[in-house]
Chain A
Amino acid sequence: MKSGKGGFTSRLKLKRIQEAISSGKRLDGRGLEDYRDIRVKTGVIEKADGSSEVFIGDTRVIAGIEISHGPPFEDTPGEGILICNAEIVPLASPDIEPGPPDEVSVELARVVDRGLRSAGIVDFSKMEIIPKKTVYVINVDLFVLNHAGNLIDASTLAAVAALRSTIKPIFEVRNGEVVPSGRKEPLEIKSTPVSVTLSKIGGALIVDPTSEEEDAMETRLTITLDEKGNVCAIQKSGPEALTPEEVRKAISIAASKAPEIRSKIIGGT
């Protein structure tokens, strides 16, 4: 299992990582609240309606968007649908084996999904094609190509960047059937959520862990914020507990880091 305490990192190295972090340092020279270099490209897959590729250090994630149509969910008949799917493919790391999605990739997809949905990244109430029968469906497919830690932040960033680059095909109703009209328009984006994941290692909180640091981590807390500073998703994951004070500290670090990360996709802070 990838998250927390174990993985393929040697015990000696885990100890060095923990000791360094308890004394305020990291093995790669970063400060505790420094991200690795973040690079975002969009339009990397021409066949998709929107796409992006995000690098955070050696972590590399591609997001592809496809807009289709389908029946709405039963409990939200007037609203469009957004579905996130994440795959950590076997070429991403020696720890990953082929097979159906495990709990790590399911969690990844669901945490990204929750952030996008709660932030209201698109106006779900304006996605009906045939009232109560057919709505626009936005498929967000996340593909981890290299797993070097902090997949949630990289994937949220990739999903948001890809959605912002999406050109939506417009569907219309002809003889009672939904067909593509041949026209397209940019997908209207209502907010820009960003997730900041804190890892607790050696009793201290750090941002943007490498996969070795993730092997050493005691627990993890992801906080997703919109551009107004509202919190739109939280996920604690990992085998150890946090005190209410640590949670408060994590939220304030996340709030202070989010604008910096958001600037990678919208330019300026």
Chain B
Amino acid sequence: MSSNEEWRRVDGRRWDELREIRIESGVLPNADGSAYIEMGRNKIIVGVYGPREMHPKHLARPHTGILRCRYHMAPFSTEPRRSPAPSRRDMEITMVMRYALEPAIFLERYPRSTIDVYAEVLQADGGTRCASITAAAVALADAGIPLKDLVAACSAGKYEGRIVLDLNDHEDKYGEADLPLAYMPNLGSITLLQMDGLLSPEELDRCINLAIEGCRKIYEVQREALKRKYEAKKEVEGN
């Protein structure tokens, strides 16, 4: 086996390299907040509506707001085409996405209200739940919702016997393990943690640490995306 430093992955990356990430905020005129992310060949758009009045009303809680999420994949996002009906996988990701974002939001400030986060995967290339969470955090900030911290997410895993960061579709399908993780860098909090595959306890620990490092890098990209939007606004207002 060549050393880790020389070894290159199927897409030419080093073991600890993220795919190229591009995030743009404020992309949907109708939404209160929105973001578009490209992470490798993933293309995902997220819209946030709210805080707004909860409908149906019986779901409203008098002492707190509620975060609702929907993760959904477009029929053309995968090859072969997938059915537009939500799958069991979509239901599970919807749920863990809500749990990943909830710790960042002061929901108790919005009694009887809802914050709705909709993620649409336009093209999928492995790691869509993480990219959706990363984009959703930017969209929440873009909606002007105060956040305890941004939530950044990425995966680490094992492919051909090596621990790697940010698995692409091929590595996810044919690799030995995949561990998606979401992290709030300033609070040191893990808000999403899943794993599927086989890892020794020592490898697991390395994956967790590597994914956290990846999240820190993604966090910087999130910040830049938000800053860029406000800088652009300033210029418009200045004219």
Tell me the A residues contacting B by CB distance below 8 Å: 74-75, 101, 103, 106-107, 109-110, 114, 117-120, 219, 221, 226, 229-244, 247-248, 251, 255
Distance between A1 CB and nearest chain B CB, rounded to angstroms: 9
Given A106-B91, A110-B89, A232 and B197 contact (CB-CB distance below 8 Å): yes
Within 8 Å by CB of A234, from B88, B94, B179, lies: B179
29 residue pairs from A and B, CB less than 8 Å apart:
A75-B173, A103-B91, A103-B94, A103-B95, A107-B92, A114-B196, A119-B198, A221-B193, A230-B198, A230-B200, A231-B200, A232-B198, A233-B196, A234-B193, A234-B194, A234-B195, A236-B96, A236-B192, A237-B99, A239-B99, A239-B103, A241-B184, A241-B187, A242-B189, A242-B190, A242-B193, A244-B190, A247-B208, A255-B201
Within 8 Å by CB of A247, from B94, B95, B190, B200, lies: B190
Q: Within 8 Å of chain A (Cβ to Cβ): is B60?
A: no
B197 in contact with A118 (CB, 8 Å): yes
Q: Which 8 A-B pairs have the closest CB atoms?
A: A241-B189, A234-B195, A236-B193, A241-B103, A103-B95, A106-B91, A241-B191, A239-B102
Within 8 Å by CB of A236, from B94, B187, B194, B200, lies: B194
Q: Within 8 Å of chain A (Cβ to Cβ): is B204?
A: yes
Distance between A122 CB and nearest chain B CB, rounded to angstroms: 15
A230 in contact with B199 (CB, 8 Å): yes
Tell me the B residues contacting A by CB distance below 8 Å: 80, 88-89, 91-92, 94-96, 99, 102-103, 173, 177, 179, 184, 187-201, 204-205, 208-209, 212
Within 8 Å by CB of B80, from A74, A238, A239, A244, lies: A74
A251 in contact with B184 (CB, 8 Å): no
A106 in contact with B88 (CB, 8 Å): yes
Distance between A171 CB and nearest chain B CB, rounded to angstroms: 27
Distance between B7 CB and nearest chain A CB, rounded to angstroms: 23
B99 in contact with A248 (CB, 8 Å): no
B92 in contact with A251 (CB, 8 Å): no
Distance between A250 CB and nearest chain B CB, rounded to angstroms: 10
A244 in contact with B195 (CB, 8 Å): no
Given A75-B173, A236-B190, A237-B96, A244 and B212 contact (CB-CB distance below 8 Å): yes
CA distance A235 to B96 in the complex (A): 9
Additional pairs, 10, CB under 8 Å, beyond known A231-B198, A235-B96: A107-B95, A118-B196, A118-B197, A120-B198, A234-B194, A235-B195, A236-B99, A244-B190, A244-B208, A251-B204
